[in-house]
């Protein structure tokens, strides 16, 4: 096993930037869907690592340590993002709400019956590359914060209750957003996939 010095210097960090920078960046890009954000978070990670070198145990793996710092940076990023969208409702979100409200009549019953037969072939559709591109379009159509909410489970790899804690969002707020996101996704999939493939 590689012998790691107990004292970490700037030179060590420089080597780490070279050695692990790409992997950290690649992971952060995936988690944030933004190359600029990912670059900033990776930079913050190395700065934080440099400032906290005392906490780094010489016998632990630098890569694991860096990834754990980055992971916290990503959660911080989503927490800030969530805070800003909770304090302010975007026009995009208002439109999304009106749109999903229109799926129900004044008695809150479906104004249009969901069409079941179209969805029967689920195993098949998930593996279809064309369906994946429809999915991408429909995800892009969601208001930004709804997209973040519905993806957060898979991005942060946590269960719903933990996500609410980490993002400081109330559970009722969270499932209401999921509900609207799914209503909107479902409509979009019906319009763009099933109708186009009939």
Partner 1 sequence: MKKLMNILMLSCKRATELIEKRLVVGLSSGEKIRLKMHMGMCEACQTYEKQSIIMDSAVKKYAEGQNQENVKLSPKRKDKIINSLD
Binding residues for partner 1 (CB under 8 A): 10, 13-14, 17-18, 21-22, 25-26, 29-30, 33, 35, 39, 42-43, 46-47, 50, 104, 107-110, 113-116, 119, 122, 125-126, 131-132, 135-136, 139, 150-151, 154-155, 160-161, 164, 171-172, 174-176, 178-179, 182-183, 185-186, 189
Long-range contacts of 18-27 (CB under 8 A, 24+ apart): 19/63, 20/62, 20/63, 20/66, 21/46, 23/63, 24/66, 24/67, 24/70, 27/67, 27/70
* Cα 144–Cα 150–Cα 154 angle in degrees, nearest 5: 120
Burial environment of residue 120 by CB neighbours within 10 A (0 to 12, 13 to 18, 19 or more): exposed
> 3 vs 11, which CB is nearer to partner 1?
11
> 88 vs 131, which CB is nearer to partner 1?
131
Q: How far is the CB of 63 from partner 1 (least distance, A)?
A: 15
Q: How far is the CB of 33 from partner 1 (least distance, A)?
A: 7
Q: How far is the CB of 1 from partner 1 (least distance, A)?
A: 27
> 50 vs 67, which CB is nearer to partner 1?
50
CB atoms within 10 A of CB 105: 10
Q: How far is the CB of 114 from partner 1 (least distance, A)?
A: 4
Q: How far is the CB of 69 from partner 1 (least distance, A)?
A: 13
Q: How far is the CB of 90 from partner 1 (least distance, A)?
A: 21
State how far the Cα of 20 lies from the Cα of 16, in Å rounded to an integer.
Answer: 5
> 3 vs 62, which CB is nearer to partner 1?
62
Tokens 């998930």, residue located: 126
> 33 vs 68, which CB is nearer to partner 1?
33
Burial environment of residue 182 by CB neighbours within 10 A (0 to 12, 13 to 18, 19 or more): middle
């Amino acid at each position: 096993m590689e012998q790691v010095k107990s004292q970490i210097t700037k030179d060590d960090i420089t080597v780490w930037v070279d050695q692990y920078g790409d992997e950290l960046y690649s992971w952060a890009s995936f988690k944030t869907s933004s190359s600029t954000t990912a670059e900033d978070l990776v930079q913050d990670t190395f700065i934080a690592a440099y400032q906290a070198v005392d906490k780094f145990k010489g016998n632990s793996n630098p890569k694991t340590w860096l990834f754990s710092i980055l992971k916290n940076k990503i959660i911080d990023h989503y927490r800030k993002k969530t805070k800003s969208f909770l304090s302010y409702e975007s026009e995009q979100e208002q439109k999304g709400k009106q749109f999903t409200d229109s799926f129900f009549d004044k008695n809150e019953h479906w104004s249009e019956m969901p069409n079941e037969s179209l969805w029967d072939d689920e195993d098949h559709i998930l593996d279809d590359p064309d369906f994946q591109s429809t999915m991408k379009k429909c995800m892009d159509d969601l208001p930004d914060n709804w997209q973040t909410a519905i993806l957060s489970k898979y991005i942060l790899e946590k269960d719903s209750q933990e996500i609410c804690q980490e993002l400081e969002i109330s559970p009722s707020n969270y499932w209401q957003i999921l509900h609207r996101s799914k209503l909107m996704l479902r409509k979009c999939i019906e319009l763009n996939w099933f109708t186009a493939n009939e």
